[in-house]
Each structure stands twice: as C-alpha cells, then as structure tokens.
Amino acid sequence: MIQIIPAIDIIDGKCVRLSQGDYNQKKIYNENPLEVAKQFEDHGIKRLHLVDLDGAKSSRIINYKTLETIAANTNLVIDFGGGLKSDDDLRIAFESGAAMITGGSIAVKNPDIFASWIIKYGAEKIILGADVQHNMIAINGWQESTELNLFDFLQSYIDKGISKTICTDISKDGMLQGTATELYKEMKQRFPLLCVIASGGVATMLDIEQLNADRIDAVITGKAIYEGSISLQDIANFIR
C-alpha cells in the first residue's frame, strides 16, 4: 500500500506553504511546527517530509532547530531537505534527528559530493530530489531550468546506487488540481525497483487512491491537509 507522507515547509521556524515554489506566494498555516507534527503522529502517520525553505534560499541548513525539536518530541521518521550543500550540512541534519535527507540541486551541480554521500551514508538515508517541468530537471528552488531529462537523470543515479526519489511536478505543486499520474506511472514502469515518491498537486483522497492503484510507493501531501480538502481522519482511515 502507498505510504502517505505529510509535508511541513519551514520559513522563520513557522509552518508555511508556497504555490509553485514562489516565495512571494507564502501562506503561514501554523507558527508551531511541532504541534502540526504531533497531530500527524496522533492519526497514525509514521513519516514526515520536512523542508527548510530558508535553507533552500540560502544554500545551507538553517532550520535545524525545528528538525531537532520535532525529532526529539515525536517518533516520526523524518526526511529533511532544503539547502543541503556540504558534508557539514549533512552532519548537522543527521545529528539533529533526520533519518534521511533529500538532495536535488546538489545532485545536479555537484554530483561528486552527492555520490559520496550515497557511499558514506547508504542509499537508505539519501533520497534523490527530482523536480521537473515538462520532464526536464529544475533546480535552486525551481528558479533555474536545466537541459537534464528526468529519466536520464534518474538512470545516472540508479547506476550510482540511489534507491529512492522524490519527484515533484512543479506545474502541479500547491495548485490542488491533481497529480502527474502518467509521469509517475512511466517512472515506475521504467524503473520498477526505484522507490518513487510522488509530490505535488494532491487535492483529495481520490488522487492518493489513484497513485495507490498505479503502485506508486509513496506520496507527499501538504496543502491539501492544511486547506482541509484532505482530513487527517481521512488519512487515518486509509492507513487502517
């Protein structure tokens, strides 16, 4: 069964959401991310996708104290991303309680260091971030397009040992208009052993049920929960 992974995006220590990665379209949902994380845990959720948006903008880890607080006060398995660019950033993230980290821009701009993390920490702890627009990889908070095709990018890192990817369709993210189901199906068909984590566009439980029917491994959802189109009780019922 598909794993549902709620997202908490952090700016200034607060739980926010952006639309299509635009920092000017920021909405604050809760000033206490731990409170949100505990609500997730209370409804049977096991995983959390925690994104340091300040870190993504600054190209270094910023909100590690928020990570530390959530990790110390819940049993959630946290994957942490946003601005992780150096060995020191990773050390801080793991010491602060991350079970896994996600790297996207770094995997494009400095593949040698990203590949070294896979070797050092193991594929279970390193998730490849693949943010796409029209099947091409975008980086730096989606502000920069590349000439890298998604499937070539994934293959290159599967060859280096990566086993999990979070793929976000930028055009869908934060829009509550449905997910890129055909894209995820194609990823799973091409790379059946790759753990595909869908991200972006989830609007209702029907979207999650469709991804489940398509045998997608996991799905990240944020705005749908915060806007109330998916309730935590819906997720609890689905998990049961």
pLDDT per residue as tens digits for the range 35-50: 999 999 999 999 999 9
Tokens of 155: 């293959």
Alpha carbon of 82 to those of 74, 79, 232: distances in Å?
21, 11, 25
- What is the model's pLDDT at position 24? 74
Report helix, strand or coil for 147. Answer: strand
- What is the model's pLDDT at position 141? 58
Report helix, strand or coil for 38. Answer: helix
Report helix, strand or coil for 120. Answer: helix
pLDDT per residue as tens digits for the range 63-110: 999 999 999 999 999 999 998 999 999 999 999 999 999 999 999 999
Binned at pLDDT 50, 70 and 90, residue 140 comes out as low
Residue 174 pLDDT exceeds 70: no
Contacts of 194 (CB under 8 A, 6+ apart): 154, 158, 162, 163, 164, 165, 187, 188
Catalytic residue among 52, 131, 169, 173: 131
Tokens of 27: 């909405």
Residue 25 pLDDT exceeds 90: no
State the Cα–Cα distance between residues 67 and 98, nearest whole angstrom.
7
Provide mean pLDDT across the span 193-205: 96
Which residue is it, tokens 């702890």?
125
- What is the model's pLDDT at position 212? 98
Alpha carbon of 129 to those of 5, 17, 35, 61, 165: distances in Å?
15, 18, 27, 16, 6
Mean pLDDT over each residue of the chain, to the nearest integer: 93
Provide mean pLDDT across the span 197-208: 95
Residue 204 pLDDT exceeds 90: yes
Report helix, strand or coil for 72. Answer: helix
Write down the pTM of the prediction. Answer: 0.94
HSE, CB side, 13 Å, CA atoms: give it for residue 4: 30
State the Cα–Cα distance between residues 177 and 3, nearest whole angstrom.
20
Check if the beta carbon of residue 207 is closer than 8 Å to that of residue 200: no
131 catalytic, yes or no?
yes
Binned at pLDDT 50, 70 and 90, residue 168 comes out as very high
Q: Dihedral through CA 180, CA 184, CA 189, CA 195, nearest 10?
A: 180
Which of 98, 92, 156, 94 is closest to 130 using CA atoms?
A: 156
Element (H, E) at 70: helix 64-73
- What is the model's pLDDT at position 86? 96
Tokens of 182: 């055909």
HSE, CB side, 13 Å, CA atoms: give it for residue 237: 8
CATH 3.20.20.70 fits 3-230, yes or no: yes
9 catalytic, yes or no?
yes
